[in-house]
Amino acid sequence: MEIDLNVVKMVPEKVIKKYSAIPIAKNGRELSVVIANPFDFNAISDIEFASGFIVIPLVAQKSHTPVQTNGTNETN
């Protein structure tokens, strides 16, 4: 799956790293975010606040959550 870097940039890198999350798609006011713990209300709330979008959490194992490093997508 190819990740659109324009979508990734909708959430500050600090927030992405803090929650092991990465936005992968935008649909209207909704932002689909792959996150290690999709039940972490604080993480979802922080991502919504930082991005200004409604977050649709998607589950991923933390070891498989992609992170952005120097403009490239790598698996952590």
DSSP secondary structure letter of residue 64: G
Is 70 within the bounds of a domain?
no
**Is the pLDDT confidence value at 1 over 50?**
yes
Looking at the structure of the chain, the number of domains it has is 1
Q: In Å, how far from its chain's centre is CA 22?
A: 2
Residue 72 domain-assigned (yes or no): no
Residues 19-36: pLDDT tens digits? 999 999 999 999 999 998
**Is residue 55, in this structure, part of any structural domain at all?**
yes
* pLDDT surpasses 50 at 72: no
User: Strands 54-59 and 30-35, how do they pair?
Assistant: parallel
The domain containing residue 33 runs over which residues? 5-61
What are the beta bridge partners of residue 73?
68
The rounded distance, in Å, linking the Cα atoms of 31 and 48 is: 9
Nearest in space to 5 (alpha carbons), one of 66, 56, 49: 66
